[in-house]
Copies of this chain bind each other. A is one copy, B any other.
Amino acid sequence: MSKPTPFVDDYLAYLLARSSKLVSEQFHAQVKATGLNVNYWRILASLSDGDGLSLNQLNERVLFNQPTLSKLVARMESEGLLERIKGEKDKRSILIYITPQGRQLVNQLLAKAKWHEAEVLAKYSHAQQELLKDMLRQLISALEN
């Protein structure tokens, strides 16, 4: 009788957390090497293909807490990476834009990120890569309601 599979190795939440952490950590080392805060990278990447999101909308993507994101965005503005503009239609909201400086930074990192992803996925066929991503996308949209 061989040992049963340990709980965590068959537990989806654990497999996701572990693979997520392993994949991210490798790349985050590269981000840190450029001197950038990892959270800044996540925020810039989330804004990279369409800024002008409100804080809440951005938060739905980056999945921080609202106060955490609020403070990060304020810091990033003070460092010249983002700009915050009060909403015209709804004056409670703050719309967030990438500055040229932030854009330059994120563009460099996007290229590195794609390169890193290619490395991670090198052993998989294109079909397999898409299968994995599709399953994750399905999971996400199911959980978002």
* Interchain nearest-CB distance for A18 vs B (Å): 5
Select A13's contact among B7, B17, B113, beta carbons within 8 Å.
Answer: B113
The contact string, 1 if C-beta is below 8 Å from chain B, for chain A 23-63, is: 11011000000000000000001101110000000000101
Binds B, one of A71-79, A84-92, A96-104, A131-139: A131-139
Select A17's contact among B14, B24, B50, B131, beta carbons within 8 Å.
Answer: B24
A to B CB contacts below 8 Å, 19 in the list: A7-B49, A8-B46, A8-B49, A10-B133, A11-B45, A11-B113, A11-B114, A12-B23, A12-B132, A12-B133, A13-B20, A15-B133, A15-B136, A16-B19, A17-B20, A18-B63, A26-B143, A131-B131, A132-B135
